[in-house]
Structures are given as structure tokens and as C-alpha cells.
Amino acid sequence: MPTALVTGASRGLGAVYARELAERGYSVVLVARDAARLAEVAESVGRATGAIVETLPADLTDPAGLAAVERRITDRDLPVDVLVNNAGVETDAVFAEAPVEVLAGEIDLNVTALMRLTRAAVPAMTARGHGGVLNIASVAGYLPSGGNAYGASKSWVLAFSDTVAASLHGTGVTVTAVAAGRIRTDDDPQGPLWLDPCDVVRRSLDDLARGRTLSAPGWVYRALVGYLEAPRTALRLAARVAGRGRERCERLERGSGHTRPSPVPTPFRDEPAPSRPLPAVAVGPATPVPPVLPEEPVRPAHVAAATVPAPRVSGTGPLPVVTRPAVAGSGALPARPTAARAATSATARAAVRRLPAAPRPVQPAREVATVRLAAG
């Protein structure tokens, strides 16, 4: 049987949460400072639902009482599946006129106790892969009024729940903040601004089961909170998309991403490249270490061995002698015998065949008389 722990369960929303969770099949643990009133609620819930009800009187502003509730939440034998942080207090005095002790107690209960109990519950829920935390905030967290510190503490609850919920995305653990409005009592009038406590409890528990980060019971408060939450909703969506992008990049870097197979069959893709080891060279104390050259590929089977030159390691033998032909006018002639040189020159001259020269034009001779007449 799953277990739910409800703080501030001696009256108001806490008692209604205890009754509703017991009717939904939970065994409940009730936490409150008033032990006598807590026992009455436990007896009423147990008789009405037949559920197992456990009481834990504790003052959450006292370090000893807060530690006792933390120990109960972290109990491995009786794990808590749903935590309802309902305990809270509101100081009516204006901030500048309120006693410091009263303001500190308000922060200890509305902020510190809620944070510590959430911190105690989340690791165990994450390890089990399921669980839920319901933090009771208020619409006053958006529109604080009266000059007191209550609205500021509830605004912190909204921001804190949003931050923790974003860090637990994909773990199976849900953190939901309840932006509750005016809760109707017996003396309050009827109207859309006054909410029935049973409707608030049922709607918030349903939103927790759906995995929603924020619950705003009542259509008036739902419209108001939806308008005020529009910028934060856009930022939350952008942060989630960016987080998914980072997770995908990390998976690709780790090599866990899926790749498309090659359409061309490659049977030798995973085979090591064939290589021929270099010949061993004896290195003495005075002999320099030859540089390591890249390995040469193995001769293919269809290539004759005579056409493949033997591998050579740098520094292991003399360089081959390359004979360059003499260039005319350079003065460098190959070392050959004189007779061989003469025979070669005669053969080269005999091989050369001269082409017949073209006839030169002949100017016709002029008569002397004609020349004289022209001159005279």
C-alpha cells in the first residue's frame, strides 16, 4: 500500500488532503504541532476510510521536530510515495511593524521546512523511479499585498517547485506547486473567488498524477495564473528543448547515437589493414637509431615479385647511383674510353642525314650600255 505524508494536517486543507488520500488507497502519515487535534483528525479519517493512519506530532520550526519528520520520510522500510507540504503560516502585521521573531518563524516554516522535507523525499523517490511532491503555494506569490512577507515566501515556493521539477524531468518523480486562492470556510460568502477546499484538493492531486508542474484550482485563478505564467511557460519550454539538445549531443559524443548503415556492402570494414613488418636493424651504442618509416603494403597476389622493388629502410645501406646524361656546354662528360667515344660519335654522325639546301636566287646580269646610259 502506498504511503502519503501530509504536514499541517490538523486543520484546513491538511485535514482534507489526509481524507482524500486515504480514500484513494493511501496509508497516511499526519504531521502537525497540535498533538490533540492531530489525534482527532487521525481517528476521523481512519473510521471513515478504513485506511492506516499514523500520527507524528512535530513542530517544523524546531530543528528536533524537523529532523524527526526527515527521518520518517527517509525510512527505507516504510517509504513515502507522496509528500504534501501543506504547513504554512501568515503574518498579518506589516513588515516594518512585525517582530523579527515572527518573521523568522514564517520563513522557517514556509521556506526552510518545505525545502528540507523536499530534499529528504526526492532522492529516495528518484531511486525508486516514482513519487510526487505537492507544495502548497498561493496566488499571493504572484500579487503580494498587505506589505507582509507571506507573499514573498509563497513566491519562493513557486520558483523552487519549478526549478526542482525541471531537474527531475524523466525520472518519474513529479513536483507540483499549488497556486491556491481564497479557501472558503463556514463564515465566507459564496462566489467565484472563494474555493471549496475539497475541489482544491481533488484538482491538485489530479494535476500531480498528470505530472503537471503547476496547479491552479478554480477557473478564475486558472485564467489569472495562466496569463501571469505565460513568460515563464515559454522560458520553461525553451529550457526543456535546450536540455534535450544537450542530452542528444552527449549521447552522440559517447557513441550511443544510432547511425544509418552504409548501402554498399563492405565485408572488410572491420578487418585490420595488411602490413609488412620492417626488417630488424641492429643498433649499437655508436649507431644512430634509424627513423621509423610507415609500413609498406603487402604485394598483391596478381603482381609478380620481380616487378616489386625490395623495401629499403632509411640509413641501412648506400644510395643507388644514378647516371645523368651529359649536357652540351656544361663541361661534364661521362667517364668513357676514347675509342668508345669516337665510335659513338661516328655512329651518331652517320645516323644524321642532312636535308638538301634550297637553291639561292640568281640576279640576272645587266648590259653595260644600259648601265652607262642610266648613269650618264
The residues annotated with a catalytic role in the active site are 150
DSSP per-residue string spanning 253-301: HHT-S--PPPSS--TTSSSPPP-BPPPP----SSSPPPPPPPPBPPPPT
CA separation for the pair 80, 132 (Å, rounded): 9
By C-alpha distance, which of 156, 61, 159 is closest to 106?
61
Sign of CA dihedral 99, 104, 105, 109: positive
CA separation for the pair 141, 180 (Å, rounded): 10
Task: Give me the torsion for CA of 184, 187, 190, 193, rounded to 10°.
Answer: -40
Triad 149, 193, 220: Cα angle to 5°? 100
Residue 131, Ramachandran bin (φ over 0: left; ψ between -120 and 50: alpha; else beta): left
CA separation for the pair 111, 154 (Å, rounded): 8
Residue 41: strand, helix, or coil: helix
Grid cell at residue 277: 613488418
Task: Give me the torsion for CA of 36, 40, 43, 49, rounded to 10°.
Answer: -140
Question: How many Å separate Cα 344 from the centre of its chain?
Answer: 83
